[in-house]
Amino acid sequence: MRLDDAPESSNVSDNRGMGGKLALGGGAGGILLVVLGLIFGVDLGGGQRAAGPPGEAPRDGYDKFARQVLGTTEAVWAEQFKTHKYENGKYVPPKMVLFSEGVQTKGCGSAPSSVGPFYCPADQTVYLDPTFFDELEKKLGGSKAEFSQAYVIGHEVGHHVQNLLGYSARTDAKRKSKQENEFSIRLELQADYLAGVWAHHADKKYKIIEKGDVEEALKSARAIGDNRIQEKMKGKSWPESFNHGTDRQRYAAFSNGLKTGDASKTKLNQYFDEGQTPFNPRTGELDNAALFPK
Ligand SMILES: [Zn+2]
């Protein structure tokens, strides 16, 4: 991934090293409010490290990487909101907090690192512990290449875009109904699609994609499919419990966004069109070959 021409966002806080100050209890219980904003549907657990003493954020350049990736999302979505006249053409970007071990959010309770990156709609913030990518590679067979990490950030920013455009509210309205998982999948696949749309335009503007990058991101998109995670963690999978989409669906959603770059209402609404079935609720499999390409 090439970020030489990427702008730097001023919306990133590097709070890594502050982990020791955060009293974390109850595993993922505290973050039920943000369950829709997670990159995948499980708590990886196991890696619950004891909180170390408070210290400084590591000087590893990660904060700069995060500022640049977020900077490109800000430029792309500002342009897309203008083009499509969303929110009167004005995009208000999210904040991003880098943390280690665990985090106390402003609006969504506390979360351990093991739940992976997430977006909290209440405080419009993306929370990310960069060590997640080691787990993604080691435990789930994903990739920690830079562009794969950028895809994950693009997915979380996608949740912010959905929050602004009202898709999150449509999903919230289905909570505790029979369609809860179906709408969660619709939202998650649309977030993958939006990550693809970001990558399409960010590459046009800043030439960010290098040889092999797309394959790395797609490797991760597949690795965090519900079926793949359940098979890795539990030895089998339960399609009726899927809430983020299968490996093939996530692959197709990101690829399609990357190919088309189309952020029009017509295109985005397809993910919420009940006449379009992006998955078969019984098998969890993909029904529409590449998620509604037109
Ligand atoms: Zn998500």
Mean pLDDT, consecutive 10-residue stretches, the chain (294 aa), reads 97 83 47 61 62 74 96 98 98 96 86 88 94 92 96 97 96 90 92 97 98 95 89 87 88 93 95 80 59 62
Tokens of 133: 């990518």
Provide the pLDDT for residue 285.
Answer: 61
Provide the pLDDT for residue 1.
Answer: 97
Provide the pLDDT for residue 262.
Answer: 96
Instruction: Tell me the domain boundaries of the chain.
Output: 12-270
Provide the pLDDT for residue 186.
Answer: 92
Task: Identify the CATH class of 12-270.
Answer: alpha beta
Provide the pLDDT for residue 170.
Answer: 94
Alpha-carbon distances of 258 from 154, 185, 236, 261, rounded to whole Å: 11, 19, 31, 6
Provide the pLDDT for residue 277.
Answer: 77
Residues, Cβ < 5 Å to ion ligand 1 = 188, 191
In sequence order, the 6+-apart residues with CB closer than 8 A to the CB of 81 are: 87, 89, 90, 91
Long-range (24+ apart) CB contacts under 8 A made by 128-131 are 128/66, 128/96, 128/97, 128/98, 128/99, 128/152, 128/153, 128/156, 129/16, 129/98, 129/99, 129/100, 129/101, 129/103, 130/16, 130/62, 130/66, 130/98, 131/100
Cα of 3 vs centre of ligand 1, distance in Å, is: 24
Cα of 53 vs centre of ligand 1, distance in Å, is: 31
Q: 114 near 48, Cβ under 8 Å?
A: yes
Cα of 159 vs centre of ligand 1, distance in Å, is: 7
d(CA 101, CA 84): 39
Cα of 90 vs centre of ligand 1, distance in Å, is: 23
Q: 142 near 136, Cβ under 8 Å?
A: yes
Tokens of 231: 């098979």
| pTM confidence score | 0.91
Cα of 22 vs centre of ligand 1, distance in Å, is: 24
Q: 42 near 233, Cβ under 8 Å?
A: yes
Alpha-carbon distances of 291 from 216, 258, 260, rounded to whole Å: 21, 13, 12
Tokens of 252: 């197709």
Residue matched to tokens 């309770």? 109
Provide the pLDDT for residue 28.
Answer: 46
d(CA 96, CA 280): 35
Cα of 160 vs centre of ligand 1, distance in Å, is: 10
d(CA 225, CA 245): 6
Provide the pLDDT for residue 41.
Answer: 73
User: Strand runs (DSSP E) across the chain, as ranges?
Assistant: 12-14, 95-98, 102-104, 110-112, 118-120, 125-128
d(CA 100, CA 16): 5
